[in-house]
Amino acid sequence: MFERLKAMLVKEFIQTFRDPRMRVVLFVLPMIQTVIFGYAVNMDVRKIPTAVIDRDNSPQSRELLQVLFASGHFRDSIRLDTEQQASRLLDAGSVRVALVINHGLAQQLGAGRTATIQALVDGSDSNTAGVILGYLSRFAEAQNIRLLTEKAARSGLTPSTAPRLESRAWFNPDLASPPFYVPAVIANILYIITMLLSAMAVVREKEIGTIEQVIVTPIRKYDFILGKTVPFVLIGYANVLLISLVGWLVFRVPVRGSIFLLILATGLFLMSSLGTGLFLSTISQTQQQAKMSAFFIIFIAMLLSGFAFPVDNMPLPVQWLTVINPVRWFMEIIRGLYLKGVGLSILWKQFGMLLLIGTMVLVTAVVRFRKTVG
Amino acid sequence: MTSVSSGAKDSVRRITAVGRKEFLHVLRDPRSLALGILMPLIMLFLFGYALTLDVDRVPLAVWDQDNSPASRELISRFEGSRYFSLRSHATSYADLEQAVDRREALIALVIPPDFADRLEQPGSATIQVILDGSDPNTATIAQGYAEAIALSWSRQVVMQQLLRRAPYALKAPQLEIRPRVWFNTDLVSRNFIFPGLIPVIMMIVAALLTSLSMAREWETGTMEQLVTMPVRRWELIAGKLAPYFCIGVVDLLLSVGVGYYIFSVPLKGSLLLLSGLSLLFLVGALSVGMLISIIAKSQLLASQLALLVTVLPAFLLSGFIFPLENMPAPIQAVSHIVVARYFVTILRGIYLKDVGLAVLWPQALFLLGFALLILTVAVQKFRKKLG
């Protein structure tokens, strides 16, 4: 009985890897993608290009600016004379914020009055603008504490120090992005490649008519299904290994949790992705249909998986919808394993959901497959 | 003269014929057509309603070892902020660890036992903040919020202490930063996301639809019929692109319409300029899909290539969500050949800043050059030969 399965597997492997470009697509591109994701996806806002119009040009104004730029959040890009110049640069997007210090800042501060710095902020990128506003208000607050204690010291009072915050990040002390995104790439790549491959591989045979040749061979349905899925299971595991290696070698992202749990979770996740692929192949006549349907599912599942947009921030009805999304559960597992090194005592719910969804999808697909194909 | 015009007429006739055939192909597969229109709609609604990078109500755990009026006041400031939601009171580090592991807390405050006493001394009173680094984006933003709350509370503490010690009014100078936000005054993230989403959607749809159109002919053997037809190469490609161009226009109208009427994203600039440049981008995006289809010759390979060459760069390297400025120089250099990047800049400029070609001409020129280049390469690469 294994003879037939073996023959089928050999055929599938030959077919998948015959085109050398396909080998590149299946193994090299996921690694490149990991590198790009690791480097590119970074929500950190630093070195914001800043224009300055310093009309006061006093020791006080220069000191304030120096402190502001020393934080590393802002970059001292250009000094200007007029608001018109600033407005042109904001229009073109070459600076994100322009600070205007008018005459009299030093004088007002010296007289114990309130001095104002005007900040023109480009609000078109609302995320960055929000961060900029936050930095500016914290900067003003910190300066005010300094001005207050200095004044107190001059009046002969003991300058009391303000309470400080000491931040410490667990799991990822530098709050770096790669540990967050490398596991996410694994989930993305696995889902896309395995679903697309399995859906299109079956439909391809239908479309170009070779399925009839397969049917007249003594291969049974289960051999056919296994032949169309086992190679992709192996490709999936190979990708997990490759991406993990790139994550470790390039970004020093280790797997903290149990490797066994990683293998188990990948297997459960592949049940969902391959099951969906098989199911799509039963309802599609052409590869175009299979591909469009697969991408439709892939995009929605990706966007609702929490890979970049936290599930907790979604409206409640949408959060309920994500319960049936296998990518969401796999994403939580794989991030837990990578970053926190937690085990089944924390992740049992996610494993359970993945098993439940995978079983349902796979059983539905196989039942439908037996009825429709051949 | 007559021969030129009759030649042009023949050309149009042949393009129309190929276009009709391709239209029939598209219409015969209503599901793919429906998905080509449904997919953009769903993405628009997801990004309009559900997906946001705004961080608020970050789950917070507190371990107040001091339990003094001062520590309680600080905690109440966190409770009162819309950025935090106090979920649990811990009594040990083990409690905090549990809460963070279960994602019941993304940030934790630890207030030391002698906090109130230390506040009175000129020494240093510290509050420990523990962040869940496994979600670095949210953690960084939450850290910023926590600092802001702590700073404003600190200032009040210092002020009160000084007033107690010096009952005569202490008049200290103050610095005020008065921000004025331009372009998207209320910082509505939707207004920022939408103009960037349109290029991504158009790139995805254009590449998905066209990337199989030639590969299919190769794989199913109908390429032989196409090759024997008395049609020039560029006419064949133009005809094949025609129906997908129409779908792209429908998607564009839908995107702009949904943005305007449902999500009330204001369009400050010229609709005419927007339409013109969008069509230019659409031609470029469709041509990329066509080129992939011509090169790949296999539908499976073509769809994987389309995903990796068009969809992912449009998503990651266009500045649509992830700011390009923060990326390392080599990746920024790569982003310069991502055509969606220029279209994102154009649409943001038109939508939010009301700038015209006077500012946007370099980007517009790139769109034009890109479309011409890819179309030419596609025509060149397409050989009317078999085997």
CATH code of the domain covering residue B67? 3.40.1710.10
A20 and A73 share one domain: no
Mean pLDDT estimate for chain B: 86
B140 and B212 share one domain: no
A25 and A58 share one domain: no
Closest residue by Cα to residue B22 from B210, B271, B219: B210
- Asked if residue B298 is part of any domain, the answer here is yes
B351 and B263 share one domain: yes
Tell me what the mean pLDDT of segment A209-230 comes to: 83
CB-based contact B32 A289, cutoff 8 Å: yes
B95 and B23 share one domain: no
Q: What is the pLDDT of residue B1?
A: 44
A225 and A242 share one domain: yes
In this prediction, residue A113 has a pLDDT band, given cuts at 50, 70 and 90, of confident
Interface test with A, best of B106, B175, B298, B332 (most A CBs within 10 A): B175
- Asked if residue A327 is part of any domain, the answer here is yes
Identify which of B115, B183, B328 has the shortest CB distance to residue A123.
B183
Q: Of the candidates B137, B165, B193, which is a domain's last residue?
A: B165
A250 and A187 share one domain: yes
- Asked if residue B305 is part of any domain, the answer here is yes
Reported pTM: 0.86
Q: How many domains are contained in chain B? A: 2
Q: Which residues of A touch B41 (CB under 8 A)?
A: none
pLDDT digit string (tens) for A225-277?
A: 888 889 999 999 999 999 999 999 998 888 888 999 999 999 999 999 999 99
Q: What is the pLDDT of residue B175?
A: 80
- Asked if residue B247 is part of any domain, the answer here is yes
Rg for chain A, CA atoms, rounded: 29
Q: How many domains are contained in chain A? A: 2
- Asked if residue B177 is part of any domain, the answer here is no
pLDDT digit string (tens) for B295-338?
A: 888 888 888 888 888 888 888 888 888 888 778 888 888 889 99
User: Nearest chain A Cα to B159, which residue?
Assistant: A148
A53 and A36 share one domain: no
Q: What is the pLDDT of residue A351?
A: 96
Range of the domain at A98: 48-154
pLDDT at B124 over 80: no
Distance CA A248, CA A245 (A): 5
Q: What is the pLDDT of residue A1?
A: 64
Helix (H) / strand (E) containing A114: strand A114-122
Q: What is the pLDDT of residue A374?
A: 52
pLDDT at B169 over 70: no
pLDDT at B384 over 70: no
Identify which of A26, A157, A340 has the shortest CB distance to residue B162.
A157
Tell me what the mean pLDDT of segment B103-113 comes to: 90
B159 and B237 share one domain: no
A260 and A349 share one domain: yes
Q: Of the candidates B109, B131, B165, which is a domain's last residue?
A: B165
In Å, how far are A175, A237, B264 from A335, measured between CA atoms?
14, 17, 36
A218 and A352 share one domain: yes
- For residue A306, the 8-state DSSP code is T
A146 and A106 share one domain: yes
Q: Which residues of A touch B136 (CB under 8 A)?
A: 169, 172, 175-177, 179-180
Q: What is the pLDDT of residue B173?
A: 78
B140 and B39 share one domain: no
Q: Per DSSP, which regions of A202-250 are E strands?
A: none
B304 and B336 share one domain: yes
- For residue A26, the 8-state DSSP code is I
B246 and B363 share one domain: yes
- Asked if residue B176 is part of any domain, the answer here is no
Distance CA B376, CA A1 (A): 54
Q: Which residues of B touch A172 (CB under 8 A)?
A: 133-134, 136, 139
A21 and A133 share one domain: no
Distance CA A121, CA A87 (A): 10
Q: How many CB pairs under 8 A join A and B?
A: 384
Tell me what the mean pLDDT of segment B247-255 comes to: 93
Q: Which residues of B touch A149 (CB under 8 A)?
A: 158
Stretch among B69-83, B94-108, B174-188 having the lowest mean pLDDT:
B174-188
What is the percent of chain A with per-residue pLDDT over 70, rounded to a whole number?
97
Residues 186-215 of A with CB under 8 A from B: 192-193, 196-197, 200-201, 204, 207-208
CB-based contact B29 A289, cutoff 8 Å: yes
Identify which of A39, A126, A289 has the shortest CB distance to residue B184.
A126
B66 and B144 share one domain: yes
CB-based contact A309 B52, cutoff 8 Å: yes
Q: Which residues of B touch A291 (CB under 8 A)?
A: 208, 212, 299, 303
Is B344 or B160 the better-scoring residue by pLDDT?
B344
Q: Of the candidates B108, B135, B165, which is a domain's last residue?
A: B165
Q: What is the pLDDT of residue A159?
A: 60
Range of the domain at B195: 15-51+185-381
- Give me the residues paired with residue B132 across strands: A170
pLDDT at B3 over 60: no
- Asked if residue B170 is part of any domain, the answer here is no
pLDDT digit string (tens) for A173-204?
A: 888 888 888 899 899 989 999 999 889 888 88
pLDDT digit string (tens) for A56-78?
A: 999 999 999 999 999 888 999 89
A65 and A105 share one domain: yes
**Phi, psi angle pair for A4, to nearest 5°:** -65, -45
Distance from CA of B348 to the nearest CA of A (A): 7
B322 and B289 share one domain: yes
pLDDT at A131 over 90: no
